[in-house]
Amino acid sequence: MLKLGVDFGLSNTDVVLVENNQILAHETLKTGPASPEALSRVLHHLNVQSSELGAIASAGGLSRHLPDTFEGLPVEKISEAQAVGRGALALSGLTEALVVSAGTGTAMIAARGTEAQHFTGSAVGGGTLLGLSRLLLGTSDPLEVARLAEAGNPSGVDSTLVDVIGGGIGHLPPDATAVNFGRLVEGANPSREDLAAGLVTLVGQVIAMIAINAAQAAGLPQIVIVGHLPDLKPMRQAFERVWYFYQIEPRPLIPHLSGLATAYGAALCA
């Protein structure tokens, strides 16, 4: 049976076509109004007819605006936590994990088998990165922000431990961040590249540190990060620096097609 999973997020609409729990096709579109017309557009992009489907499942904050049926098929509305949890475990091949859904904002889900519950989260996410980038860099294009960040150095804007206390502390090395954007207080005049690197570091560190503490509190040794924020290479590197500095084992996973986790999970729940 073919199943369509759709995640109507604030920034992106992710769609997957699933058969026998395997992803056959997928697409990521810019989010517009959640409507029958949007579903028709999705099917057009996937080159599939509604008559070929056995189920339609939707998740995401905007999916509540969808009708209960579409061209004779029920539209199942799956809770965000269930969709994120199921999709992340399926993509990672795990049976349980603290799932970090890093999108426009950040939600953290305690996922165990077919059960998933919202555990905690943060208002800091991709929307934070792009909003501050528009203010400080004059762009909210994620690819441009990533390009700038790769060419920059966060120490151009961040105070490090060696700056503040003269060296490392505990297992943290001297070059670990002590104060995000601390150098700006001293009157530093950083480049756009260093500002971008500092913004990516700030967002990445906030998400990673909350994830570490949440996983410990939930009793889940493995962290899985999904969503579209990890699509940006500098963001993945920011996460990795936190795992390295805090010696996190097992290392958190970012599975292939991580941005599709919610749509995939919705289809699996259908």
pLDDT of 163 > 90? The answer is no
pLDDT at 192 > cutoff 90: yes
Amino acid at 62: L
Q: Domain 2-87+260-269: give its CATH code.
A: 3.30.420.40
Q: Which of 60, 33, 47 has its CA nearest to residue 228?
A: 60
The strand order across the sheet containing 12-19 reads 22-30, 12-19, 2-8, 53-59, 73-77, 69-70
Average pLDDT over residues 132-143: 97
Confidence class for position 164, pLDDT limits 50, 70, 90: confident
pLDDT band at 113 (very low <50, low <70, confident <90, very high): very high
> Which architecture does CATH list for 94-254?
2-Layer Sandwich (3.30)
The token pair at 176 is: 């670990």
Average pLDDT over residues 49-54: 93
- Residue 140: count of CB within 10 angstroms of its CB: 15
Q: Which residues, at least 6 apart from 70, have a Cβ–Cβ distance to it below 8 Å?
A: 36, 39, 50, 56
Q: Which residues of 155-191 are buried (b: 16+ CB within 10 A; e: fewer)?
A: bbbbbbbebeeeeeeeeeeebbbbebbbbbeeeeebe
Provide the residue ranges of all domains of the chain, joining segments of one domain with +: 2-87+260-269, 94-254
